[in-house]
């Protein structure tokens, strides 16, 4: 399981809810959580707010997930 998915699951938020907040599909969020697609800074900021993390923490998690997925 990737760090992005772990962060979402720690909050108890469902994939479809988070996807809706990001204005993307659940399938696209799945690709993001597996590090298969790039994540824009605005989406990182939204995730940080949803997951109650600082932007810096969320950016680090997103980068590590992206590195693992490549």
Averaged pLDDT, 49-65: 97
pLDDT given for residue 23 in this prediction:
97
Q: Which region, left, alpha or beta, applies to residue 12 given φ > 0 means left and ψ of -120 to 50 means alpha?
A: left
Question: What does pTM read for this prediction?
Answer: 0.92
In the chain, alpha helices (H): 3-11, 15-22, 26-33, 41-51, 55-69
**Which pLDDT tens digit goes with each residue over 1-34?**
899 999 999 999 999 999 999 999 999 999 999 9
Spatial separation of the C-alpha atoms in residues 16 and 4, rounded to whole Å? 15
Among the four given CATH numbers 1.10.260.40, 1.20.120.80, 3.40.50.1370, 3.40.109.10, the one describing domain 3-69 = 1.10.260.40
Q: Which region, left, alpha or beta, applies to residue 37 given φ > 0 means left and ψ of -120 to 50 means alpha?
A: beta
pLDDT given for residue 2 in this prediction:
93
pLDDT given for residue 36 in this prediction:
95
């Amino acid at each position: 399981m990737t760090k992005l998915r772990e962060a979402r699951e720690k909050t108890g938020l469902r994939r479809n809810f988070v996807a809706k907040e990001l204005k993307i599909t659940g399938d696209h969020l799945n690709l993001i959580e597996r590090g298969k697609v790039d994540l824009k800074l605005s989406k990182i900021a939204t995730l940080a707010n949803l997951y109650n993390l600082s932007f810096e923490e969320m950016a680090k998690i997103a980068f590590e997930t992206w590195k693992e997925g490549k």
